[in-house]
Structure 1
Amino acid sequence: MDDLIVVTGASGRVGRRLAVRLAAEGAHQRLVVRSADRAPQLPGTETEVALSPGYADVDSMRAAFEGASTVFLVSGREDPDRVQQHQAAVDAAVDAGVQRVVYLSFMGAAPEATFTFARDHWATEEHIRASGLRFTFLRDCLYHDAIAHFVGQDDVLRGPAGDGVVAAVSHDDVADVATGVLLAADQGPFDGQTFDVTGPTAYSLAEAAQVLSRATGRSIRYQPETLEEAYASRAVYGAPQWEVDGWVSSYAAIATGELATTAPTVKRLAGRPAQSFAEWLDLNPDDWAHLRR
């Protein structure tokens, strides 16, 4: 077994960025994707296509992990069976002889977390802890990108976030932190550790609306909702209850303060300050192009 790193979700927002960074450092990596034509073409990489959505195909995942010493495990898409899929992936890693998992979790992961999807992350973390694998958990906050996509067609950012603040982070910051953890010469200090990965400051959705207004030249505003109003305003999408619960509870977690605390992880592990919301807007104009209509 060499130092092969498996990167799951390698065609996604974090996985793709991570793969590029690992390649630049000369790492030997295998990229797990759903479609080969979506895999980044990088030196020193292999590509493995997962045969089914998520991590449900255990044989496929075991093959993807074979010969690897470390797996970077991105959480699967939101799904009522996501915890079971994560557990299957962890079990496949154990069966394949993987030694270490770096899991991209979520800030405030806990069995009673307000954000319902954060409960899935807690359950996954518990399964990893019980697996016998060496592990590091990177708990990222909501992404700046998500905040920009909260804005509706009517230029209103609405939700039951109250006056709470969110320490949102960029995908680039998370990828840089993951790179530092995966390639550290001395991995000992990271084993068994959990790191929150956040932006440099926490901001309210009203402040986010002001920053977006300046960037777009439009009048974007924040409209607080009650929980009942939030469910009613999202009923038009016809989404299943578990998904709507996730949408609404992401705002509610801001209101409770569960996403408010900033952490020095980016500066410590990436060697630079984390991106603020305004800086992210400047650096990633394509990610909020939908607001420049």
Structure 2
Amino acid sequence: MPHLESLPALAVTGATGHIGSLVARQLADAGLAQRLLVRRPGSAPDLPSAAVVGCTYEDSSVSRAALDGVDVLFMVSGAEHPDRLDQHRGFVDAAVAAGVGHVVYLSFFGAAPDATFTLARDHWATEQHIIAAGPRYTFLRNAFYTDFFEAMTGADGVLRGPAGTGRVASVTRADVARVAAAVLQRPQDHQGATYDVTGPEELSLTEVAATITEVTGRSVVYHDESIAEAYESRRAWDAPEWQYDAWVSTYTAIAAGELVPASDHVLRVTGRPPESLRDHLGSVEG
């Protein structure tokens, strides 16, 4: 590990993943020095004024050392795992022990102890642990990712799930990263804030399918599965039961109205409106 006294006081986790790497690049473009805490140092992006430090959420002693001297921390949630909440709590405790003053946590829209989307419950519990631990904090509750809709559509052109006529205010990962980078550049302006990071519109999955068809030319339709159908169709992939619950509850949360309303927080924080699904698809196609 590099000498801690030489490392920057702004740290970013998840820099080998999609959101973390986008945030790290934007901070580098803004001229900020940063410490990239990553599981695989060899996979970290090569950025100016960025020091790479190996770190995992599972190992609190390594995390404590990696976070020494950090004042502002961007904490991306860990990979989906049955022990993820315990890992989050251990990492937060290590951050506080290391003297981290402000945690910017990437949470999920509608995080609550009784959220329909099962993983949103872990995000709520992580938020509560951060609050109880005592650092300054900012919570970025991103909505479902707009980027995922095409990938969720089967090879048969069917977007399937038990979402009914519910609506979702999805957001692009690029817009989430823009919000995070803006907050990290002026964390003092966002102390204690919880932002609902959504796109500009609330769409049903029928409208999502129609938009994909119109913009891309690929014929896509939405099939409103029953819950039993949803579990059965997803058993094509070998996964533990908690993972099936998470996958299916993504859709039942939409049906329950828990992934709306759209907010203006992307515009408020960054000064630029978020992308719509049509905008996003058009930029990918272009």
TM-score of the pair, normalised by structure 2: 0.95
Q: Choose the corresponding residue for 2:49, options 44, 48, 54.
A: 44
Give the 4+ runs in structure 1 shifted more than 3 A.
none
In structure 1, how many angstroms separate the alpha carbons of the residues matched to 2:43 and 2:124?
30
Match of residue 18 from structure 2: 13
How many residues of Structure 1 are paired with residues of Structure 2 in the alignment?
281
1:195 aligns with 2:200: no
TM-score of the pair, normalised by structure 1: 0.92
Q: How does 1:1-293 map to 2 (within 5 A)?
A: 4-50=9-55, 52=56, 55-184=57-186, 187-285=187-285
1:191 offset after TM fit, Å?
A: 1.4
Asked if the contact 2:111/2:124 (under 8 Å) is kept, the reply is: yes
Deviations along 1:234-275, one digit per CA (max 9) or x if unpaired, are 122121100000000000000111002111111111111100
| Structural RMSD (CA) | 1.5
In structure 2, how many angstroms separate the alpha carbons of the residues matched to 1:283 and 1:27?
28
Q: Tell which deviates more after alignment, 249-258 or 146-155.
A: 146-155
1:107 offset after TM fit, Å?
A: 0.3
Structure 1 vs Structure 2: percent identity of aligned residues?
49
Q: Tell which deviates more after alignment, 249-258 or 148-157.
A: 148-157
Asked if the contact 2:216/2:285 (under 8 Å) is kept, the reply is: no
Q: Tell which deviates more after alignment, 249-258 or 33-42.
A: 33-42
> Match of 1:204, as an amino acid?
S
In structure 1, how many angstroms separate the alpha carbons of the residues matched to 2:246 and 2:150?
17
1:190 offset after TM fit, Å?
A: 1.6
1:121 offset after TM fit, Å?
A: 0.1
Asked if the contact 2:22/2:177 (under 8 Å) is kept, the reply is: yes
1:149 offset after TM fit, Å?
A: 1.7
In structure 2, how many angstroms separate the alpha carbons of the residues matched to 1:97 and 1:57?
17
Q: 5+ unaligned residues in a row in structure 1: which ranges?
A: 287-293
In structure 1, how many angstroms separate the alpha carbons of the residues matched to 2:33 and 2:65?
17
Asked if the contact 1:7/1:72 (under 8 Å) is kept, the reply is: yes
In structure 2, how many angstroms separate the alpha carbons of the residues matched to 1:156 and 1:94?
47
Q: Tell which deviates more after alignment, 58-67 or 136-145.
A: 58-67
Asked if the contact 2:216/2:281 (under 8 Å) is kept, the reply is: no
In structure 1, how many angstroms separate the alpha carbons of the residues matched to 2:282 and 2:21?
21
Q: What's the secondary structure of 1:236's corresponding residue?
A: coil
In structure 1, how many angstroms separate the alpha carbons of the residues matched to 2:175 and 2:238?
34
Asked if the contact 2:169/2:203 (under 8 Å) is kept, the reply is: yes
Asked if the contact 1:5/1:71 (under 8 Å) is kept, the reply is: yes
> Match of 2:93, as an amino acid?
D
In structure 2, how many angstroms separate the alpha carbons of the residues matched to 1:235 and 1:221?
21
In structure 2, how many angstroms separate the alpha carbons of the residues matched to 1:277 and 1:132?
38
